[in-house]
Amino acid sequence: MMKRTMCATSIDAYQLLHKGTEALARAEWQGMRVDVEYCERARQKLTYQIEKAEHRFDSSELGQLWQRTYGGKYNPRSDRQLGHILYNKMGLKPSHKTESGEGSTDEEALRSLGIPELRHRIRCSKLYKMR
């Protein structure tokens, strides 16, 4: 049996691209169905989980220190404030630094510090992104 070799031409490539573009345009025009009630329930669940994790962190020793240090300017989402507390106030050594030379507060850096309360802060960060 003889094998047939197919060679695509520029016209073939254009036609394939054109058909794909038309299909994408139809899908974009018609939209996509979304279960709005499900999305709202999921958002509420995430909000509850965030509040629970924030409360656990805020009531920890580290959370209390952070609140005492910053008072009314306390922002539990501020990586800069957290870095100041960990590396300046508590005198901990960061596992690595950011491009600006500050101690990193990414998940890897926080986990390397071995402070149990930080797991609540890490969880909050992940949940914020999901919501």
At 71, which CATH number?
1.20.1060.10
Q: With a cut of 70, which residues of the chain have pLDDT below it?
A: 1-6
> Residue 30 domain-assigned?
no
Q: With respect to residue 9, please indicate whether it lies within any of the assigned structural domains.
A: no
Sort residue 74 into left (φ over 0), alpha (ψ -120 to 50) or beta. Answer: beta
Token pair for residue 128?
């914020």
Angle between helices 61-70 and 36-58 (to 10 degrees): 90
112 is a domain residue: yes
**97 part of a folded domain:** yes
Cα distances from 104 to residues 62, 85, 130, in angstroms, run 17, 12, 22
Domain of 79, in residue numbers: 37-130
Q: Tell me, rounded to whole angstroms, the distance of Cα 36 from its chain centroid.
A: 22
Number of domains in the chain: 1
Contact indicator for 105, 118 with CB cutoff of 8 Å:
no
Query: What's 90's DSSP letter?
Result: S
Residue 64 lies in a domain: yes
- Give the containing element (helix H, strand E) for 56: helix 36-58
The confidence score (pLDDT) of residue 33 equals 83
Note whether residue 17 is domain-resident: no
For residue 105, tell me if it sits in a domain: yes
Q: For the full predicted model, state whether its pTM sits above 0.85.
A: no
Question: What pLDDT, on the 0 to 100 scale, is given for residue 7?
Answer: 73
23 in a structural domain: no
Q: Using CA atoms, how far apart are residues 58 and 1, in angstroms rounded to an integer?
A: 75
The residues facing 103 across adjacent strands are 97
